[in-house]
A and B are shown apart, each in its own frame.
Chain A
Amino acid sequence: MRLKSRFGPFGYIGIFVLLTIYFMPARVFGADAGNCLVCHKYPGLSRVDENGEMRLLFVNEEIHNKGVHGKVKCEGCHTDITKIPHEPAKPVDCLVLCHIIEPTSEQKFSHKSVATSLEDSVHSKKGKDGKEKPFSEDMPTCKDCHDDPLFRPLAFVKKVRPGVAEDALGRCRVCHTQEEFITRFYNHITTRLHKSRSPLNIAESCARCHDDPELVARHNLSTSAGGSYGQTFHGKAANLLDESVPDCLDCHVPKGKSVHQMYENKDPRATTHKDNRGKICNSVDCHPGASADFANYKVHAEFDKKSNPVIYWFTTFFIVLTGGTLLPLMAILFLDLLRRLFPNASFSRRKEK
């Protein structure tokens, strides 16, 4: 009565508007609340900056919205942009307190714990003594390993092909009503239940640095890790998109730890430490029952005469044997077919009878 008497019919309209907003689906408020994609949806939006570096300012809306950061507003990461038109954006700080409330702690979400893990890892810019490592600029930052992460949903009830399982979504819909929430939640959870990237993609990511001969030399690494992995059975299977073979992370990250917690071989916490190495292969998931020596073979043996002469000559022998057998066979087959094609052909002139 009071509402009606003071504001007339506008009071009820106001309440109706507020209720409409409250119950409005979340997707109405997309990540692009600032309408940044008015400009950034164009692939040609690019420039050369003052340092001569090319800057592509395009955001593929379709892919971005389906990705892990699809719900994050642009200004959640690009915090320095507060107005349009804006000045050239500063590099994004992935550790910024952002955008989304972490549901269990009800605190703002942040990637700070990743940085903490990384600082303690082999990829830290600083050594154990707190001093900067030589060539510390080679150490990876977030974007060296990560582009905008994409979901890789897993289907338990759909065995033919991976992806979102409609049957599983049907169960979710019994209690949950928001379609976007259901799909996103399903994607989020099931992506975490298996490899978030295929073994091939992981190996490619690591190889960008670990196969760079100059970087390998600078850091006195014993091998180009990606290349030597590719020579192994695991690497060849990964190249054929086998998801069950171990990738770099399976061997180099301690079980149950974040992928950012990789340690150098001398560190007792490292999986590759001489005391722990035996446990890498004989886990229940891989080769249960394998002896500790099983993991002591040269995993990253390179095809190199100096460092691995036995493997080099053994491999060379088999390559020569294979090529030396099959190539002459092909040559004989070819010549035989040639004769069948031209049965009367001859290099020498026939004697006239």
Chain B
Amino acid sequence: MKCFFTKLYILAFMGLVVFFGVLIWNLTFAHLIHEYHARKGDVSIQHEGEAGKKEKGKQTFDTMILESEDRVKHYLGYRVLEEQRIEGHFHHIGFDIGPDNRSYCRSCHGDMPHDKVKDVRAFLNMHAFFVACQTCHVKLEEKDKTNVYKWYDRKTGDIVDSPVNGAAPGTYQAKIIPFVRDENGKLVRIDSEEKIQFALDYKNNEKVLSEGQKSKAKKLIHKIISKTPVTCEACHTKNKPLLPLAELGYPQTRIDSITSTEVVGMIRNYTEFHMPKMLSPGEKPALPQLQPEPLLKQQSELQPKQQPELPPKQH
């Protein structure tokens, strides 16, 4: 027994020696080598404009937000605020959200897939942050509807408990995914392992596929996607919303907010005045482009005049 502990002690000590050896190496010779290579790079004078053009294509949500290495710590004395730093972004982000490792749509469409309709692209991308693509883009037939939706973890892909309660709206590390019944009648998530593997195989073999094979593969991947997505009003309504918000863990106050006249009214504003074509692409707008209601103006009229900030009292 004594011998065993002695061996263990020696092993631990050896580990410590290796640790210090690596540390000393990094501080001494590795530092010299790093400096040598850093200085070896030829620094050429390059106009900013040209450099900017080169960089633009490389910017993705992954590199800029989710996996950004450019992090900053604000040392406020009483608190250290650590966050990703986005160049030119003024407001603080304040927290990290990991990438959605489960979604197979993301590998082609990215994290900000909505850009067709200028007026709502940001809203749709915002929803894509906590709602899986299939929730809106797969319209199940009445007989296939299960009305079961669950949250899955963005990093692990596992089904998790509702992250809603206590978290700030939309800051969840999880997304809503619909459930369907398989051939045995068992409830399964719509993004099955089989579909993920198929999409992955397509992505890996895309370069060697013929055009015909590509088309066929794309058709199969998008087979479940409906022509028109679920409308905003399908969820933002008090009358049987598509998503079972209470079952998804939304407290009543949040449900009231999501289905409030304020949100619903704004959606109507957008739909009627800004994007009459959104749900029927290719068609000409039926309504003339009317001026939207100036909500801010309305509010300022409704609200009492703001009290000006008074100068501090003199002592």
Residues of A within 8 A of B (CB): 21-22, 24, 26, 29, 33-35, 38-39, 41-48, 51-64, 67, 71, 75, 81-85, 88, 92, 100-101, 103-104, 135, 137-138, 143, 146-148, 150-154, 161-164, 175-176, 181, 185, 197-198, 200-201, 204, 213-214, 216-218, 241, 303-304, 316, 319-320, 322-323, 326-327, 330-331, 333-334, 337-338, 340-341
Contact = CB atoms under 8 A, between A and B. Distances in A.
Interface string B1-25: 0000001001101100110110011
27 contacts: A26-B307, A33-B303, A34-B300, A39-B126, A43-B95, A43-B97, A43-B170, A48-B112, A52-B56, A60-B95, A64-B92, A82-B296, A83-B297, A84-B294, A85-B269, A85-B273, A101-B308, A135-B48, A146-B90, A162-B77, A162-B78, A176-B313, A214-B46, A241-B75, A327-B21, A330-B24, A334-B14
Interface in B25-53: 25, 27-29, 31-32, 35, 39, 41, 43-49, 51
B297 A334 contact: no
B25 A323 contact: yes
Nearest to B30: A323
B166 interface: no
Contacts of A58: 91, 93
A54 B115 CA distance: 11
Interface stretch (B81-89, B144-152, B187-195): B81-89
Contacts of B294: 82-84
A21 B307 CA distance: 8
B122 interface: yes
Contacts of B112: 46-48, 54
B49 A56 contact: no
A263 B28 CA distance: 37
A327 B24 contact: yes
A85 B170 contact: no
A34 B168 contact: no
B127 A44 contact: yes
B300 A200 contact: no
Contacts of B14: 334, 337-338, 341
A18 to B, nearest CB: 8
Contacts of B308: 101
A47 to B, nearest CB: 4
Contact of B92 (A60, A316, A320): A60
A341 B170 CA distance: 56
B21 A334 contact: yes
What are the nearest 7 A-B pairs in CB distance?
A44-B129, A323-B28, A163-B78, A162-B77, A103-B311, A42-B170, A83-B294
A101 B307 CA distance: 12
A43 B171 contact: yes
Interface in B81-123: 81, 85-86, 88-95, 97, 112, 114-115, 118-119, 121-123
Interface stretch (B57-65, B204-212, B248-256): B57-65
B234 interface: no
Q: Which of B21, B31, B91, B93 has the most chain A CB atoms inside 10 A of its CB?
A: B91
A88 B48 CA distance: 26
Contacts of B303: 29, 33
B72 interface: yes
Contact of A319 (B31, B48, B72, B126): B31
B263 interface: yes
A303 B38 CA distance: 11
Nearest to B61: A54
Given A319-B32, A327-B21, A340-B10, A39 B123 contact: yes
B106 to A, nearest CB: 13
Nearest to B118: A88
Given A44-B126, A153-B78, A64 B21 contact: no
A135 B13 CA distance: 56
A63 B94 CA distance: 7
Contacts of A42: 126, 129, 169-170
Contact of A164 (B78, B128, B300): B78
A64 B128 CA distance: 24
A216 B38 CA distance: 14
Contacts of B78: 153, 161-164
Nearest to A199: B75
A330 B90 CA distance: 49
A316 B75 contact: no
Contacts of A103: 309, 311-312
A168 B30 CA distance: 50
Contacts of A85: 119, 266, 269-270, 273-274, 292, 295
A337 B17 contact: yes
Given A57-B122, A147-B90, A326-B24, A334 B313 contact: no
B57 to A, nearest CB: 7
A75 B60 CA distance: 29
A331 B61 contact: no
Contacts of B24: 322-323, 326-327, 330
Contact of A213 (B11, B25, B41, B81): B41
Contacts of B73: 201
